[in-house]
Structure 1
Amino acid sequence: MFDVLTVAALADELTGTVLDGRIQKLGLVNGTTVAAEVYANRRRHALVASADSDDPAIWLADRLPSTDPGLITPFGLQLRKYVRGGFLIGIEQPALERVIRLSIVKRLAGHNDHEANELDDDEAEIDPDDAQDDAPWSAGMNRVELIVEIMGRHSNLILVDGDGLIMESAKRVTSRMSRVRPVLPKLPYTMPPPPDKPDPRRLTSAGAESLLAGGKPSATLADVLVRGLRGVSPQIGREVAFRLTGNAGIKLNAVSPEMTSELARHTRNLLEPLLTRTWQPVVYKQEDVAIGYAAVPMSHLAAIANAEDVASVSAAVDALREVGGDAGPRDHAQRRARIVAAIDRECEKVSSRLHSLQEQHRRSAKTAQLREWGETIFAYLWHIQPGDSQLVIDDLTIPLDPALSAKDNAQAYFDEYRKAQRAGARLPEHIAEAETERSYLRQLRVQADQAEGFAAIETIRQEFDEHTGGRQPVGERPGNRSKKQAPRRVTGLTEVSGNVIYIGRSGRENDQVTFDIGGAEDTWLHVRGVPGSHVIVRWLRPAEDEDERAVETAAALAAHYSGSRTGGLVEVDVTRRKNVRKIKGAGPGMVTYRNERTIAVRPQDEASLKAEGRLD
């Protein structure tokens, strides 16, 4: 997870490893990925920076990836002229930003005869120790910055000159694409606008209380932290939630108001390395394969995987990547980890869109005021003199445009009111759609995280691929994609009384279990308020009364195949299948239900239930 902790740790690692080094080789791996060989401290280092929308990163790889000499872009040409052969003299990470600024100096052709010949830097290897004797970044050197912005789909690599003007970028951003921050040659470079959120490193009990009070009760604590604090990533949010409650996916309505002091303390403690600059990079493995990493230990990952200390954050990043190769993931665990990461990125995009829609809806609530102001101006036309900047009536103050007449000011408010009304008419519908999509992605993530074996993992991958319109999870290449599998038939588990329990392990299987296998009078179960599997009990002898022991067995399985698997007591909703309805237009497995009752059980898998004699 390239969050602020990872980026800060990498900035420190680069400073201690390649600072003052010479960039001997440099090329494009693809249009958005740069690879450079940096000679520093009498060693060659492979520095890679990528602005890939799905997998942005910067790290020191264990080997230099293959570059494409036939790929010629304006950005690549500028890098060759101003960066290759230069010296890396500065490395900086702005506070709480996923940005690293690399300062490079180089003597350009014309300043030195031997440079004027434009040596091929891929073949000319100069000992930086000899070069540094001549103070290579003294007078006569040209200075540029290569700015690496790691911000999901907005990631970019931007080359900036000594005057702060953009020279070129891996991705050009026009004013149509972004009115706030276009990225084009000759424009001044500006940092991404910082969000107006509190600094989590200085979070107080009062700040935590305000944060919780402003969140939706149905939201997870992790999401509230991500939305409410600057620089907090989903992984950081889940870790704080886990340290506080032992449940990374806990809902806000389950967090006690008395926990605010501890919430603030855990948040500060987790981000303390940003102040102390002490790092403990860790890779988390399942079945001896890396599935995640962090710059500092993460308890919620350690609860589901084996923690392994590594020498550097780059080593942790490299453990999860196939740099420059065409091979896919090494085995099922690696494949699953990449799909989970892709789902997380998509969920983050949807959450950002939802937040934007909710802000628009909040602002649209003020549209009635625009109409009232227009009506008030019309009612007091006689009171307004040419050039007035406001109309004051009792306690009401209405801003006026001095360049407009009173009547035109009123008309301007009416026009603005109608425009806002049109824009806001469909906002509730769009918000509901985004909330449903986010719920679906969270369900898919839980199922991907728990998928075992190639067939189950491939089912999740295909379902996610269909949802995103063909965008592939990280590590999937067009030549390596598997053929679409036919939906597999869900097999049942026979409960000791002869009733059969069916469990959906994906969205498609949830639909199959609920609507194809389950009969109207069969019993349907799902963990309350948490993503997870649909579970059906097919009664051997359908009757008015349910077998409570069978229901409890099915509920334990529903809890196990949910986001609350690692929790204690888990609430599970139980209802007849006839009370379950599919949400029109939503993803597979998305339903509404009614007439439910709720029971509390402990999660149990098939093996433990068989050992207890509750499953045959």
Structure 2
Amino acid sequence: MAFDGITTFAICCELRQRLLGGRIDKIYQPETDEAVLSIRSLGQNYRLLLTCQAAHPRLHITEKKPETPLSPPMFCMLFRKHFSGGKIADIAQIDFDRIIEISVEVLNEMGDLCTKKIILEIMGKHSNLILTDENGRIIDAMRHVTEQMSKFRTVLPGLPYTHSHHNDKANPLLLHDEDSLFCLLEQNGTVLGKSFYQSLNGLCPFSAREICFRAGVSDKALLAELPAAAKQSVYTAFHQLFASVLDQAFSYRIYRESDVPCEFSVLPYFSMEAVSFQEYDTLSTLLDIFYAKQDVQNKILQKSQDLHKLIQTNLERARKKAGLQEQQMADTKDRDQDRIFGELLTANIYQLKKGMTSVSVANFYEEEASSVTIPLDSNLSPSQNAQRYFNRYNKQKRTEAALTEQLAQTYEEISYLDSILSALALADCEKDLEDIRLELHETGYIRKTRKSKKNLSTSKPLEFHTSEGLRVLIGKNNIQNDMLTFRTSSPYDYWFHVKDIPGSHTILFCAGLEFEKDYTMASILEAAALAAAHSKASAGSNVPVDYALRKYVKKPSGSKPGFVIYTHQQTLYVTCATPGKQQRK
């Protein structure tokens, strides 16, 4: 279910109950499109999240502590200036649309009590957070909209605020009879389900399907072909749904398929009765949980796009270089023929005369001593022609030696860049990205590393526990890999890594424990499966994973972060662990 008008109505009801009369203590702006208000209400402290990000714009109370910038943006400073210390007077939804107005009583510059507004417009990529003064003029907005950007409405400081007229949809709470409803539906569409959300504010496709399901009519039915009885059923279902909304008969549910959240609803949706669900006490708790992983993924994806582009560019360059070096290496494989030609010319130099373009001699390197024709340079003497072949042979020999070293370096670079891509896939916080940026700066891929503008929490390795209770730590990037392997673990812990494939260093903490008494092979297999799951082979089965005591793992001097050599290893073939099968802390 999208954050539609029904969800907006429900969250406004909840926020009014919990926040009316509350005081705004602090205001943060963790992201360019996100604000968090710290509100003291009814003896409790709440954090109200307002976000106008394109993917999941919404507002609700959140339990998450924001990672605040070291210096607040200009919008945040204006927000604080005009609304800090203000009292929440009202929280209202406009025309059952996804527009929420939070009225705040504050003292103006003259010391008089006035009402200013915080307005969140939830409109997908056009979402915005707008602040207005007591006269309804815009103080500032998270997204400025100029005349060049929109011919319908300009959103700039100092201009009067007007509600967005991004659609001509009707308020469903004002439709009180069947004729009014179907007259509106027929004006805006021909298919029943689609015409619902094209005609009415607050209805998403999920809710439109629910109305049709309750009426026993297909949401793909054509309006012109609906019989009178079907229309009556549809209107009854429509009326019942919105009566439940007005009565606040809410039931906050997250529906799951294969234990993965797929939808949520604020009412019992009959069309989802066959799907497993979990109920929550408040809508804010539901939204906090439902959007948690998606928010992190979206933020990490946005903030790592430049890193992905950088790594992909360097990977393509390295792979192209490897291809050219491999071709040059192949060209040196025939160098023995030049040596043989040189030796044959030296042995038969008495037959040669300057000006000859070729000579046929017996090839005594073959058992049959068959005749071979050797091309000659007519401008060179016999000895110079022989020396020319020896020089070509020696040059190709030197080329092969140099290419062998260069190819090893190129393959190492490709492996390293692949490990960075794996680290980007595992990154689950901004600190992980900062660590990767620092590593790329130290290895020369980034000239300057920008300093973080936020108070970021420390990034930690992934932590799991095997079914026998042993602790497993997995590095999320090469810096963590080195730290985990050479500082966190002890020499008698087990170290795991997929064989010849980029992946994370994995440590099974078993030092001081006795095998077969304190733990068994099951823990080793589970750790190996986790190592496979956090590698480039995460989608595979029968993945080879090497493991050895950590004391046999060494880091060559001058090698790149995350690169190690190891001995005394054993290899297991495992299927990648499914996240959740091992207990994650």
Larger Rg: 2
Question: Could you say which TM-score interval applies, normalised by the shorter chain?
Answer: 0.3 to 0.5
TM-score, scaled relative to structure 1: 0.45
